[in-house]
Structure 1
Amino acid sequence: MAHVTIYSSDYCPYCHRAKALLRARGVTEWEEINVDGRPEVRQAMAQRAGRTSVPQIFIDGRHIGGCDDLHALDARGGLVPLLNGTPG
């Protein structure tokens, strides 16, 4: 299973929705980096992702984007292969 990193906030419904989709696709563990009250962490996320909103999701170091991007990738049939290490 691929390594998943999620920059998130406790109060973000999109973060919860993205994690629910990952769970539904068989992901049981991920690295979660909470940005709440941590401007330096949010700044590092923004430098890495090019965006300031959460969630920001990376799979095996590849920036996927936010919740809508993750759902769009899944709808195109690309999420499961990526999680299994076979990007399409």
Structure 2
Amino acid sequence: MSGSPAMKLVQSLVERRGILMFSKTYCGFCTKVKRIFQNIGVHDAEILELDERDDGDEIQSALLQLTKQRTVPNIFIGGKHIGGCSDIEKMHANGKLISLIQAARS
């Protein structure tokens, strides 16, 4: 799997994108994170909707191997794996999310 096209895509995106979220269009937790991002003015997040991609299952398997997390949302900021919805909610509630995003952009 480490050399699979899906893994190479995931690794490439993580390296090149400041804010990256793997999502599914019908996922309520993904919608919560999108709303948080919108509310704090994050409009430059790269969001991959896995249910709209032919390789979505392969990407999700690559994410499981890379992060030990199969669920979405699966979020990276500044090349670091952050986790999912509850992780973003906690960071936002304790005031750490905005500073993490700002650091990823600089």
Q: CA shift at 1:48, angstroms?
A: 2.3
Greater relative contact order (Cα 8 A, min sep 6): structure 1 or 2? 1
The match for 1:34 among 49, 72, 75 is 49
Distance in 1 separating the partners of 2:66 and 2:42: 23
Q: Which residue of 2 aligns with 1:8?
A: 23
Secondary structure of the structure 2 residue equivalent to 1:80: helix
Whether 2:33 is the aligned partner of 1:21: answer no
What is the aligned counterpart of 1:50 among 68, 73, 82? 68
Q: Tell me the CA shift for residue 49 of structure 1.
A: 2.0
Moved more, 20-29 or 36-45: 36-45
* Identity over aligned pairs, percent: 33
TM-score where L is the length of structure 1: 0.87
- Paired residue secondary structure (2:42): coil
Moved over 2 A (4+): none
Segments of 5+ residues of structure 1 without an aligned counterpart are none
Q: CA deviation at 1:27?
A: 0.5
Aligned length: 85
In the alignment, structure 2 segments of 5+ residues that lack a partner are 1-16
Name the SS for the 2:34 alignment partner: helix
Counterparts of 1:49 and 1:21, CA distance in 2? 22
Aligned to 2:90: 72
> RMSD across aligned C-alpha pairs, in angstroms?
1.6
